Amino acid sequence: MDKLKSSLPYIIGAIVVMGLSTFLPTEQPIISVKAEHLFWLGPLNVTNSMLTSWLVIVIAVGGFVIGLRNMQLNPSGFQNFLEFLYESLYQLTENVAGTKHAAKFFALPATIFIYVILSNWLALFPGLPLMGVGLCEEHHIEAKAGATEHKEEAAAVAKWWKTCEPGQVIVPFLRSPSADLNNTLSLALVTQVLAQIFGITILGVGGYAGKFFVTHKMTSAKSGGEFALGIIDFLVGLLELLSEFIKVVAYTFRLYGNIFAGEVTVFIVVFFIPLFAVLPMLAFEVFVGFIQAFVFFILSVAFYTLASTSHGGHDEAH
């Protein structure tokens, strides 16, 4: 009985909010695959995801700068947490890459992990991308099945609770940077180019090229059967070369797809049932955000390790 009494204000508040939202309907949610444009900074098109990525950078850099002021030998508090983060990531790198190259392979993937996890979780901050705070912009009414006339009609009627002109929609100020293909593509390109650089510096140009153009079995063949195997090896090497480019696409779309799909799902569920139905979805999105950042990190380190082992080389003993 006591619990019911203390939670009564929340129950009443929830019912009031849900009731209000039934009487203040909004239009079809506008989902855009591209990040929406906010303003021009010279020739640079600043989108809402770019703004959020600046915010993420400020938070990450500021967090580390503040946490590492007056570094103690026995850390406590925030410095302890940052050291825990650093050491866990470094231990993971050592498990995958071995102790010889772990220091080299650690820097970029760990940074990308911190950037990606912050940008994934910032999009879930209560209210941020979904709140009706943003710029009013002209809506390009797209043709939809059977909704065209209805949409023009609905857009032209000015409703008193809307602050934008009729025919305009609100573009939110913040949107997860990982829900922007440009952002994930740049992360993927940097990671993959660094993998090639690591391969070339560790194995040498000839050694690294020898992984993709495998000719030693062909040239040292003594019989027709061995020559056929050599040709197969050569073709597999070419396939490996192709897969280096495919990895860029995979990195990009894995992160983009997970985060964008999560955002769209939360957006649409909120438009159906205002408060409660979205809570399990948000919890799942927290989990997915962490997993995607972690997978980007582990995959980068794993591919760096693969790129730096010669064809037919074995792992170092753990």
Partner 1 sequence: MEAEAAKLIGAGLAVGLGAIGPGIGIGLATSGALQSMARNPDMSPQVVTYMFVGIAFAEALAIFGLVICLILLYATP
Nearer to partner 1 by Cβ, of 180 and 214: the residue is 180
C-beta neighbour count of 48 within 10 angstroms: 24
Indicate whether 227 belongs to the interface with partner 1 (CB under 8 A). no
Q: With CB under 8 A as the rule, give the number of residues binding partner 1.
A: 26
Binding of residue 150 to partner 1 (CB under 8 A) = no
Q: Going by DSSP bridges, is the β-strand pair 44-47/37-41 parallel, antiparallel, or unpaired?
A: antiparallel
Q: Which of residues 3-62 bind partner 1 (CB under 8 A)?
A: 31-34
CB atoms within 10 A of CB 147: 14
Supply the minimum distance, in Å, between the C-beta of residue 176 and partner 1.
15
DSSP 157: S
Name the residue with tokens 């070339």.
200
Q: Which is nearer to partner 1, 234 or 267 (CB)?
A: 267
Residues 297-316 close enough to bind partner 1 by CB under 8 A: 298-299, 302
The torsion region of residue 141 among left (phi > 0), alpha (psi -120 to 50) and beta comes to: beta
Q: What span, in angstroms and rounded, lies between the C-alpha atoms of 307 and 298?
A: 14
Smallest gap from Cβ 286 to partner 1, in A, equals 15
* Alpha carbon distance 180, 252 (integer Å): 10
Q: Is 141 in the site for partner 1 (CB under 8 A)?
A: no
Q: Which of 48, 79, 184, 292 binds partner 1 (CB under 8 A)?
A: 292
Residue selected from 59, 218, 250, 282 as contacting partner 1 according to rule CB under 8 A: 250
172: DSSP letter: E
Whole-angstrom distance between the N-terminal and C-terminal Cα of the chain? 58
> Among 66-74, 76-84, 138-146, 205-213, which window interacts with partner 1 (CB under 8 A)?
138-146
Which DSSP category does 160 fall into?
T
Which of 208, 256, 303, 304 is in the footprint of partner 1 by CB under 8 A?
256
Residue 180: C-alpha distances to residues 96, 119, 176, 185 (Å): 30, 11, 7, 9
**Window 74 to 133, contacts with partner 1 (CB under 8 A):** 92, 95
Interaction between residue 264 and partner 1 (CB under 8 A): yes
Contact positions toward partner 1, by CB under 8 A? 31-34, 92, 95, 142-145, 250, 253-254, 256-258, 260-261, 264, 291-292, 294-295, 298-299, 302
